[in-house]
Amino acid sequence: MNKLKVAIVGPYPLNPYKITGGIQAVNCNLVKGLQNFEDLDLHVITVDFDQETEAFRENGITMHYLYSSKKLGQITLYNRVRKWIVNQVREIDPQIVHVHGTDMYGYAVKKLEYPTLLTVHGILRQEGKISNSNSGWGKRFFQGTKGFFNSYFECSTLKRMKHIVVISPYVKEMIDEFTRAQMYFIDNPIDDTFFQLENRTSDNRLLFVGMIRVRKGILNILKAIKEIKLKIPDVCLHIVGKVFEPEYDMILREYVEQNNLTENVIFRGRLDEKELHQEFEQCAILILPSVEESSPMVIEQAMAVGKAVVATRVGGIPHLVKDDVTGFLVKYGDVQGLAEKISLLLSDPEKRAKMGIEAKKEAGKRFKLSAIAEKTRQLYFEVAKTEGIG
């Protein structure tokens, strides 16, 4: 059998049981689904900036990975890393390159001679505008410079691509003016295990999952918890995620201490797969009060488990959460509104359960791994045919 050789380039967990961030989760899930197709020869190219684990050997794919320092990479605009990515692609000599992200991954492969498909996971120029006002001027200057170059990478990458996958209408709207590429809509895939988890809800238990950074709006949840506690004293928020911005993490912990919330807020840190599943099973509601999102995986995961969601009406979130059907949407920064919607669901288990049922139905229609993998496989062969391959 002649197999289509595909190089998947982007963030990927070296250990699939220790995933950091939504893009790693998407790629890990997608590769798991694509492994079922015998007509694909899969190669994964990724850079590990955490340098915490050894590569986990997976059947059906060939891993190509590089350990690197993120700080050094940012200073040099990832020049060494980008050259390594290009060399790996050329050594593999694939028929299709599927790159994830418009950052240095997309910028590295944009001029390569191979048919390339780009999945846009976030809008870097928007994310670059968000900073912690409490950081020192040096940190803010560095973040601003990083945002400038990420925006440059993004714009340059979009202009060169002929085939782009968008994960929400918001993404298409935000990149339309920067590209003439053919666009294809494919939702992010959810691992089947989320659909199989038990619903072991603990009353008044809330969950946040995501990087600890300003963009996620976590401080607004803490302010809402302070309000909710007046009526529901045993409300408890579990915060799960890797610390991406240490200064912001310190602000959150200080707020918890100063407002007597130590028994109401638990910082869980980064969890492995089993621990994360337990958090989803036991939470009553998932909370995501971000200032900017494209199509957050955690919302899809919560829906697959059958949980109601309270989130901000920003970016691609309204494409996932149907207001007053699968959850509630509030304006970013509306702490009072956030507190009211959370309190309403905590005090009305019947409404909460009904929303969870609707959310699970919606997730089953849209996010099943087998369906997303099949769509992606078909797209690979479509792009290959368009580009005269095979």
Same domain, residue pair 174 and 88? yes
User: Do 208 and 198 belong together in one domain?
Assistant: yes
0.85 exceeded by pTM? yes
Give the model's pLDDT for residue 379: 98
DSSP result, 234-285: T-EEEEES-BS-HHHHHHHHHHHHHTT-TTTEEEEES--HHHHHHHHHH-SE
Determine the pLDDT at residue 228: 98
Same domain, 213 and 253: yes
Q: Give the total residue count for the chain.
A: 390
pLDDT at residue 19 in the model: 83
**233 and 206 share one domain:** yes
Same domain, 240 and 216: yes
Query: Where residue 215 sits, what CATH number does that domain have?
Result: 3.40.50.2000
**Predicted pLDDT at 53:** 56
Determine the pLDDT at residue 68.
82
Which residues of the chain are modeled with pLDDT < 50?
Answer: 141
- Residue of 143, 152, 282 whose CA lies nearest to 207: 282
Per-residue pLDDT, 354: 98
380 and 294 in a common domain: no
How many domains would you assign to the chain? 2
Residues 146 and 247 reside in one and the same domain: no
Pair 90, 168 in one domain: yes
DSSP 39-57: TEEEEEEEEESS--SPPPP
User: What is the distance between the alpha carbons of residues 86 and 112, in angstroms, rounded to a whole number?
Assistant: 8
- The verdict on 47 and 158 lying in the same domain is yes
Residues 172 and 212 placed together within one structural domain of the fold: no
Q: Specify the DSSP element, H or E, that contains 34.
A: helix 22-34
Q: For residue 361, give the H/E element and its range.
A: helix 349-366
Residue at token pair 């488990």: 305
Residue-range definition of the domain harbouring residue 307: 192-366
Cross-strand pairs, 166: 120, 185
Residues 10 and 138 in one domain: yes
The reply to whether 132 and 212 lie within a common domain is no
Burial class (CB in 10 A: 0-12, 13-18, 19+), 319: middle
